[in-house]
């Protein structure tokens, strides 16, 4: 039962940290072209930070319950000595920074970016990848940063599809696509590297329960990529042509992409809670 609660807390942690950090990263990279759609960013960041804080506290409580349920110095120092302790500290610090800087402007935006980086660094400190080497931990960190930017951009683009006139939306989508080619390419390359590191393809029975769960996650991630390619080649030209339907189609397809993103999070929370690559 505790394992199930741990998976649910992890899912909430993914949603909160990826959305909060991602909207901060995307606001910075898409800049002024977001126009009025940028007005939704502070609310999104604050909501996501609250979800992340709650998830980090729940994760810590579950860990304490697993260790016998006593909140004393022995339990706390046992947690601190494993990578889970510093990871929880990073999650709490990142979420607090994001919450406090949600409405930041100008040079104070550095705190928002810092909050996002600190929050996501927790995934490079703790987890299957981090347990192998510092390099694989760093790649996992970059992998989640890229996925987070993508999620944050989608949340802002959906709002842009609602409030921006089509010529402004076309210019925003062009800027997003320019970054997306590099960042999503990096996400896939990082994911492929982690897959090759975590799955022992040299073993005759390499399709372990871990590899099966990972395959499910990759299939869902490839479906998100498929929708992104559809957007790029079929919907973006319609927005540029300003035929009146492009913005609506973009919002619909982003809705599907966000649903698939949620399913990738569910699959990953399951994968990282119930399966071990070393089993
Ligand atoms: C929509 C795209 C994607 C999203 C949102 C996503 C998200 C994530 C998240 C949240 C983690 C877990 C971090 C942790 O808890 O330590 C992760 C790890 C990982 N991802 Fe992705 N990912 C995506 C695409 C991919 C792709 C395309 C691949 C493979 C080619 C991939 C392979 C991996 C691997 C192997 C791990 C490590 C799993 C483990 O720790 O056991 N990911 N990803």
- Domains of the chain with CATH codes: 2-274 (1.20.1630)
Distance 271 CA to ligand 1 centre (A): 10
Q: What band does 68 get if pLDDT is binned at 50, 70 and 90? A: confident
Q: How far is CA 203 from CA 192, 200, 206, 210, 275, in A?
A: 18, 6, 5, 14, 18
Q: Which of 42, 51, 50, 40 is nearest to 14 (CA)?
A: 51
pLDDT in tens, 77-129: 988 999 999 999 999 999 999 999 999 988 899 999 999 999 999 999 999 99
pLDDT in tens, 197-227: 999 988 878 889 999 999 999 999 999 999 9
Task: Tell me the whole-structure pTM to 2 decimals.
Answer: 0.95
Burial (0-12, 13-18, 19+ Cβ within 10 Å), 131: middle
Write down how long the chain is. Answer: 279
**Phi and psi, residue 165, nearest 5°:** -65, 155
From 91, 208, 221, give the residue whose CB has the most ligand 1 atoms within 8 Å, as the site to mutate: 221
Closest C-alpha to ligand 1, atom 28: 191
Supply 236's token pair.
């973006």
* Contact yes or no for 160/37 (Cβ under 8 A): yes
In angstroms, the CA 20 to CA 50 distance is: 9
């Amino acid at each position: 039962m505790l394992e199930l609660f741990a998976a649910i807390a992890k899912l909430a942690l993914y949603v909160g940290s990826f959305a909060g950090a991602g909207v901060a990263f995307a606001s910075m990279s898409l800049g002024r072209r977001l126009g009025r759609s940028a007005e939704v960013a502070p609310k999104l960041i604050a909501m996501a930070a609250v979800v992340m804080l709650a998830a980090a506290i729940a994760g810590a409580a579950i860990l304490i319950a697993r260790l016998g349920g006593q909140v004393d110095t022995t339990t706390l120092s046992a947690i601190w000595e494993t990578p889970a302790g510093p990871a929880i500290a990073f999650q709490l610090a990142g979420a607090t920074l994001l919450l406090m800087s949600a409405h930041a402007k100008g040079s104070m935006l550095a705190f928002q970016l810092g909050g996002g980086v600190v929050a996501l660094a927790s995934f490079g400190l703790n987890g299957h990848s981090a347990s192998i080497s510092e390099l694989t931990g760093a790649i996992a960190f970059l992998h989640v940063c890229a996925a987070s930017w993508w999620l944050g951009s989608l949340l802002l683009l959906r709002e842009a599809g609602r409030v921006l006139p089509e010529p402004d939306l076309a210019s925003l989508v062009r800027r997003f696509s320019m970054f997306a080619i590099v960042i999503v390419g990096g996400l896939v390359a990082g994911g492929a590297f982690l897959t090759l590191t975590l799955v022992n393809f040299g073993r005759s029975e390499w399709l372990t329960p871990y590899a099966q769960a990972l395959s499910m996650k990759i299939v869902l991630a490839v479906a998100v990529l498929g929708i992104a390619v559809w957007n790029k080649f079929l919907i973006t030209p319609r927005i540029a042509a300003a035929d009146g339907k492009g913005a609506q189609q973009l919002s619909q397809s982003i809705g599907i992409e966000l649903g698939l993103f949620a399913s990738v999070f569910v699959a990953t929370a399951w994968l990282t809670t119930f399966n071990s690559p070393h089993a």
